[in-house]
Amino acid sequence: MMGSKAPRGIQSIEVGGQLLLALARQGRPMALKDLARAAGMTPAKAHPYLVSFIKLGLVEQEGGSGPYGLGPLAMQLGLISLQQYDPVRLATPVIEELALRLGHTVAIAVWGTHGPTIVRVAEGPTPVHISMRHGTVMSLAGTASGRLFATWRGEHAALLGEALPKAALIKAVRQDGIATSRDGVVPGVSAAAAPVFDASGRLVLALTAIGPSASFDTALDGALAAALKKAAAELSRRLGH
């Protein structure tokens, strides 16, 4: 049986693309020699690619003879890309993987009309006797996800007229970068939630793990907290944070 072949690309585009990648990694305009070196080619080889990229608007050159930077089309493509990134869509496969790896139910909570609201649930192998269906609104003070939103969306949380977490707890959540709850709303049930931010630094969703307190690790330096924070940080990075 013959193995499937990799899709055929256009080598010149892949070579020239290294210049764009180098500019994106550097984050600032670069002189021709420095840009060419970062892309693994000579200045003579790099120059024709840059001329074409300038014509397309992917690259611009300061003053016509200065360093090269990303052009207006590159900026526009970046903005369009961010607009197309639906945080919930991106996070859905992440919670499926986390539920399998952690052995607990993992959910996505977003800010809704009535507060933190569950919009996706990935069931874990351990049954949890608490309502975690889509549309469930979480308590601001008594749940891990609620405490996250009270911390980073406090101006909205205050408008609900609901009891808020104490100031010391909000300070701790902000400092730790994660919120936990043990035997909070329902005895015997614990949770942990990590924040996902967008390019503007706004909290857009919470990754929330929930499970029986007897087997749920709420330690801030534990493996569960580390996995949630790592997954949340990666999603935030993909959203431009």
> Please, what CATH class does the domain formed by 11-83 belong to?
mainly alpha
pLDDT at position 109, please?
Answer: 93
Instruction: Report the share of the chain in percent with pLDDT over 90.
Output: 59
pLDDT digits (tens, 9 = 90+) for 35-69: 999 999 999 999 999 999 999 999 999 887 899 99
Q: Answer whether residue 158 shows pLDDT above 70.
A: yes
Mean pLDDT of all residues belonging to the chain: 88
Of 127, 104, 181, 183, the residue nearest 150 (C-alpha): 181
Burial (CB count within 10 angstroms: exposed 0-12, middle 13-18, buried 19+), residue 151: buried
Q: Which residue has the higher pLDDT, 86 or 131?
A: 86
Q: Answer whether residue 18 shows pLDDT above 90.
A: yes
- For the chain, the domains span 11-83, 85-238
CA distances from 64 to 42, 43, 117 (A): 20, 16, 52
- SS3 state at 79: helix
Instruction: Report the share of the chain in percent with pLDDT over 70.
Output: 91
* Amino acid code (one letter) for 178: I
Q: Answer whether residue 1 shows pLDDT above 50.
A: no
pLDDT digits (tens, 9 = 90+) for 185-197: 788 889 999 999 9
Of 112, 113, 134, the residue nearest 122 (C-alpha): 134
Domain 85-238 belongs to what architecture? 2-Layer Sandwich (3.30)
